[in-house]
Amino acid sequence: MASPSDHKATIIDGTAIAQTIRSEIADDVRQLSEKYGKVPGLAVVILGNRKDSQSYVSMKRKACAEVGIKSFDIDLPEQISEAELISKVHELNANPDIHGILVQLPLPKHINEEKVLIEIHLEKDVDGFHPLNIGKLAMKGREPLFVPCTPKGCLELLSRSGITIKGKNAVVVGRSNIVGLPVSLLLLKADATVTIVHSRSDDQERIIRGADIIIAAAGQAMMIKGSWIKPGAAVIDVGTNAIDDPSKKSGYRLVGDVDYKEACKVAGWITPVPGGVGPMTVAMLLKNTLDSAKRVFMQ
């Protein structure tokens, strides 16, 4: 019999799963185009030139092209006023060729994020952050029109890997509006017993060690050690943290919120960073845009 030190977690390959989903979406887009003579449209709005935001946006636009979704590129200056941005959003709301509107966050300090996001038409809110969509996600027996992309991607990774959620102990590490909170609501909808661990939680290690499913979204490099993980648990690592690495040309490498090498020796399943949750976020954005267009075309 193999000794425990030989244990290797099953790697959940987010890149491969996302590729499968993208080809399913491309097929659907082709069918819509043949049947209705129209394709889904996604407007991606970016302010200024933050490096990380620009790289996310170019990834999203490239992904659209790959599956046949029409991308509307809205590049605005960083100093644009809140009123001008909102009137741009209204213009996109009124354009019938656009089925999804995404405003790349974070926004510059002088703009109130909440005021802008609430202006996006509910039926075009493919990021799933409109308060009404989040509210419905939180309520039993209600379904939001859209679920936020990263949380949706996390659950898709679990289900496509054959991991049961119902009745399991799920621990979400982090309580952000973008991941922690919505992913805990989704797990609750899927009948997990959910605990949220955050920076003010006492005895984080003990709580995490009780988890059958861990969603790590704290933004703390390698915070979750191998010894914190229950043997056989499923670990979804949402973190992307840059740490110094002189051996790399860029001078840094990306790591998750979980100590990957250690976790691999204990966990049943684990997502790598990069190549785990990241590609799924973009795939779910495409899926939400496709679903939105289907609602319109099939009315």
Task: State how beta strands 234-237 and 41-47 pair.
Answer: unpaired
Instruction: Give the pLDDT mean for 87-99.
Output: 98
> pLDDT band at 56, cuts 50/70/90?
confident
The full 3-state SS of 125-152, as one line of letters, equals: CCCCCCHHHHHHHHCCCCCCCCCCHHHH
Residue 5 has pLDDT above 80, yes or no: no
Task: State how beta strands 252-255 and 213-216 pair.
Answer: unpaired
Instruction: Give the pLDDT mean for 86-99.
Output: 98
The span from the CA of 1 to the CA of 18, in Å, is 35
- What pTM, to 2 d.p., does this model score? 0.94
27 compared with 299, residue with greater pLDDT: 27
Instruction: Give the pLDDT mean for 96-120.
Output: 95
- Predicted confidence (pLDDT) per residue in 61-84, tens digit: 999 999 999 999 999 999 999 999
Backbone angles phi, psi at 230, to 5 degrees: -70, 135
Query: Contact at 8 Å (CB) between 283 and 18?
Result: yes
Instruction: Give the pLDDT mean for 109-123.
Output: 96
Q: Is 45 exposed, middle or buried (0-12, 13-18, 19+ CB in 10 A)?
A: buried
What DSSP designation does 61 have?
H
- Reported as type and span, the H/E element at residue 193 is strand 193-197
Instruction: Give the pLDDT mean for 131-157.
Output: 96
> How high is the pLDDT of residue 299?
87
> pLDDT band at 4, cuts 50/70/90?
low
Catalytic residues: 60, 104, 127
- DSSP string covering 62-107: HHHHHHTPEEEEEEE-TT--HHHHHHHHHHHHH-TT--EEEEPSSP
Q: Which two tokens stand for residue 163?
A: 């991991």
Dihedral over alpha carbons 214, 215, 219, 224 (to 10 degrees): 10
